Structure 1
Amino acid sequence: MELAVTTLAGKSAGKITLKDDVFGLEPRADILQRMVQYQLAKKRAGTHKTKGRSEIAKTGAKMYRQKGTGRARHSSARAPQFRGGGKAHGPVVRDHAIDLPKKVRALALRHALSAKAKDGGLIIVDELAAKDAKTKSLAKMFEGLGLANALVIGGAELDDGFRKAAANIANVDVLPIAGINVYDILRRHTLVLSKDAVAALEERFQ
């Protein structure tokens, strides 16, 4: 697969050949769905918690005698049916993460990249750098490239000026190559890769 390379200013910077085993697969929705579920489940804090009857700070003494009152028999006031009692079957602190084999996770990333390439939502730029680190000038460049909702992936290290300039642009995420993930790729309309990012991805999947 061959794609045109552009600069941030919108000028042509030649062409690049992308490997079909990374960018040319037929996207599978089932694999992408499994990966998104895996990522979202892993992000959940799982810190939701309510107190059970054993954790309530109340006396455990029997409320009143068993017989002779004409009332229902009860033991502890910490039971769930009483005000201030413990919650029955309430949420507890737990890990929501699910298992997904490493090979499936790697395959999902390739399918996400291929999906963007197939839909025309993939743009390759020669370099991600901003000399003046001004948000206004970078936003104008993005507007010229038609980037209203995009994920921008750079090399191993991001240019500090570019990162700072892009930080205040709405609906634009900027990540180094180590942070690339399926969920962020799919949630943005356009994927922008630097030439360094392409080289790193193809080396990763050799």
Structure 2
Amino acid sequence: MEAKLYNQAGQAIGTLELQDYIFGIEPNIPVMHQAVIRQLANARLGTHSTKTRGEVRGSTRKLYRQKGTGRARQGAIRAPHHSGGGVVHGPKPRKYTKAMPRKMRRLAVRSALSAKYAENQIIFLDDLSLNAPKTKDFLALLKNLPLVGDKTLVALGEKSDNITLSASNLPNVKTLLAAYLNVRDLLTYDTLILPKSALSVVETILGKK
């Protein structure tokens, strides 16, 4: 399968041969959903915590005698029904991490890439570079390209401070190393910009071994 290859001026300068194994499969929706759930779960810190009646401060003295006062019987002031008392069945620190086989994780990313390619939401660039970190220049570069929607994900083959710093002030643009492409970002952003250097990384990781 082939795709148009653009330069930074937005001109189509040729075609690019793509692997059907990565960009031409039938998207596996359940696996993509599982990958997103796993990613969201793994992003949770799990540091939430409440104190039980044995952990809050306060005396364990019985508030008043059991009988003869005409009031309901009470124990310690740290009981859950008292203001400032312990919390019953409250959250405690825990891990939310979920496991997922590597083959399924890669299938999920390939499914997301195939879905975006089918919707013409991937722009393949011959090269992506800037001489200096300047948001104005990067914004002009984006305006030259046939973007879809408002949110853009830029995959980089290798670290580039000029590109990363230039895009950091744009709220609807995110830069990401191609090795860290994930289903959540692919589904969140409307357009994926994929330079040839980043495509090479994607094919190395997700291609047939």
Asked if Structure 1 and Structure 2 have the same fold, meaning a TM-score greater than 0.5 normalized by the shorter chain, the answer is yes
* Deviation of the 1:170 alpha carbon: 2.4
Any idea what SS the aligned residue of 2:54 has? helix
Residues 128 and 159 of structure 1 are in contact (CA less than 8 Å); yes or no, is this contact kept in structure 2?
no
- Name which of structure 1's ranges 157-166 and 55-64 shifts more when overlaid on structure 2: 157-166
Aligned to 1:100: 100
| Separation in 2, partners of 1:70, 1:10 | 85
Residues 32 and 112 of structure 1 are in contact (CA less than 8 Å); yes or no, is this contact kept in structure 2?
yes
Residue 161 (1) aligns with residue 162 (2)? yes
* Deviation of the 1:75 alpha carbon: 1.6
TM-score by length of 1: 0.94
* Cα distance per residue 1:146-183 (max 9 Å; x no partner): 4331111011x233222221221221111112221110
Runs of 4+ residues deviating >4 angstroms = none
Please show how residues 22-101 of structure 1 align to structure 2 within 5 Å: 22-101=22-101
Please show how residues 184-203 of structure 1 align to structure 2 within 5 Å: 184-203=185-204
Identity of counterpart residues, as a percentage? 41
Residues 179 and 201 of structure 2 are in contact (CA less than 8 Å); yes or no, is this contact kept in structure 1?
no
* Cα distance per residue 1:45-87 (max 9 Å; x no partner): 1122221111111011222222222222222111111111111
**Counterpart residue identity of residue 166, structure 2:** A
Residue 149 (1) aligns with residue 161 (2)? no
| Separation in 2, partners of 1:62, 1:117 | 70
Residue 10 (1) aligns with residue 10 (2)? yes
Any idea what SS the aligned residue of 1:200 has? helix
Residues 152 and 192 of structure 1 are in contact (CA less than 8 Å); yes or no, is this contact kept in structure 2?
yes
Any idea what SS the aligned residue of 1:54 has? coil
Residues 50 and 91 of structure 1 are in contact (CA less than 8 Å); yes or no, is this contact kept in structure 2?
yes
* Deviation of the 1:16 alpha carbon: 0.9
| Separation in 2, partners of 1:105, 1:176 | 17
Aligned to 1:182: 183
Unaligned 5+ runs, structure 1: none
| Separation in 2, partners of 1:37, 1:20 | 26
| Separation in 1, partners of 2:75, 2:25 | 65
Residues 135 and 167 of structure 2 are in contact (CA less than 8 Å); yes or no, is this contact kept in structure 1?
yes
Any idea what SS the aligned residue of 1:53 has? coil
Count, aligned residues: 205
TM-score by length of 2: 0.92
